[in-house]
Amino acid sequence: MTVAVRSFAKINLGLYIGARRADGFHDLRTVYQTIALHDLIRVSVGRGRGIEIVCDDARVPLDSSNTCYRIAELVMAELGAKGRVRIEIEKRLPVQGGLGAASSNAVATMIALERALAGTGLSPVSTRKRKLSAAARLRIAAEVGSDLPLFLVGGTVLGVGRGEEVYPLPDLAAVPMVVVTPEVGVSTPRAFADWDALVQRECELRSAGQPGAAVPTREQLTGPATSDRLVEVGCALSAWLCGPPNTGAPAKGGSRAGNLLLDLVRTGIENDFARVVFPQYPELRDIKGALERAGASYASLSGSGSALYGLFRSRAEAVEAASRLRKQGVRAVATSTLTRRQVSKLQGFRVAG
C-alpha cells in the first residue's frame, strides 16, 4: 500500500532574529503561513529493513542527511515498527528556497508513514504504540529541524524559540499571492552567520562612537539588545492580535478575521534576513521591487530566501502580476495562502486528532 500526502510550502510573514544561544541556534519570532504550492510524498512499507529515498531531482540527497530519512527513522523507532520504508519525493518546490520544502517533505513523510504502517500487515512490533501522540509528532518534528513543527499545525502559525515552538493563530481567510522562485539557493546557516557578523559590526561602530568604551564581546553583542528587540516584536504581535479591526479596505466579508493577515503586513513587518541576503544577491531586491510595481500590497523574502512573495487583493490581480513578471524573465506563479482547515482537509490530518 502506497500513501500519498501533499507537502505544502510556507512563507514567513515577518522574521526577527534575536540572540545566538549557547546551542548555536538563534532565538526568533516569526509568523509562518502555509501556502498551496506543494511537493508530493509517497510512502510505502514492505518486508525487510532500511529506508530508501527516491527522487529524480539531483539536488535532493538520497542518504541519511535527507530530512525524510531522518524522520522516518525516528517514527519507526518511536512506534517500534519494523519494515522497509520507501519514500518517493515528487519535487515541485525549489531546494534551499526559503519555502520550507525539506521540512514540509519530512512532516508529510511522517503523516504518510503512520498511515502506511496502519494499512499494511506489518503492524508495529510494540502494540503499545500503534499511533503517535500529537505531542510525540511535534517532538520528533522539532528534533529533525526548527521549521518542521509548523507544518503539523498549518494555516497561520506563530513561531518562537528557534522557530520550533509553534502556536496556531486565528485561521485567516485565504489571500491570493504570487511566489517567485529564483534559480539561486541561499544557505540558511550561512545567512544566520552573516546576520551575526552584521550585528557585531553595527555594535562595534556604535561603541567606537563612545570614547573610553571597551570593545564588546560577541556574547555582549548578540545578547540583551537583540533579546529586547524580540520582546518589542512580541508586544507588536500581541497588539496586532488584540487590536481593533483595521480601518483600511475591508477584505471579502469585511470581518476582522478576513482582514487580520493584511492588518499584520500593515504593521510594517520585516524580514531580518533581507538585510544580509539582498546585498549579496541584488537581483532578489530587484524582484521584490518588481512584485511591488506589479501591484503587490506587500512583498518580501520568505525565510532566508531565495523565494520571494507578494500578497494581492484579488486572484485576478495575482494571475495578471505573475504573467507580467514571467514576461520579464522572472519565474513567478500565482497561488494562495492556505487556511488550517484547508491544510487539514487536503492532508486528511489534524495535529490534535
Nearer of residues 38 and 162 to ligand C5P, judged by Cβ: 162
CB of 65 to ligand C5P, least distance (A): 11
Q: Rounded to whole angstroms, how far apart are CA atoms 331 and 154?
A: 26
CB of 97 to ligand C5P, least distance (A): 14
Q: 10 an active-site residue?
A: yes
Long-range contacts of 290-297, Cβ-Cβ distance < 8 Å, separation of 24 or more = 290/325, 290/328, 290/330, 291/178, 291/180, 291/321, 291/325, 294/178, 294/320, 294/321, 294/324, 294/325, 295/320, 295/321, 296/178, 296/321, 297/262, 297/265
The helix/strand/coil state of 9 is strand
Among the listed residues 147, 194, 196, 263, the single catalytic one is 147
CB of 222 to ligand C5P, least distance (A): 11
Confirm if 67 and 7 have CB atoms less than 8 A apart: no
CB of 351 to ligand C5P, least distance (A): 19
Residue with cell 538563534: 26
β-pair type (165-168, 26-46): unpaired
Number of Cβ within 10 Å of residue 227's Cβ equals 13
Q: What is the DSSP string of 277-315?
A: HHHH-HHHHHHHHHHHHTT-SEEEE-TTSS-EEEE-SSH
Q: 147 an active-site residue?
A: yes
Nearer of residues 67 and 344 to ligand C5P, judged by Cβ: 67
Nearer of residues 27 and 263 to ligand C5P, judged by Cβ: 27
Cell representation of residue 292: 511591488
Among the listed residues 10, 27, 194, 288, the single catalytic one is 10
Q: Rounded to whole angstroms, how far apart are CA atoms 90 and 56?
A: 8
Nearer of residues 188 and 200 to ligand C5P, judged by Cβ: 188
Nearer of residues 84 and 139 to ligand C5P, judged by Cβ: 139
Residue with cell 511566489: 179
Positions that interact with ligand C5P (CB under 6 A): 24-26, 28, 145-147, 162-163, 188-189, 192
CB of 188 to ligand C5P, least distance (A): 5
The residues assigned a catalytic role are 10, 147
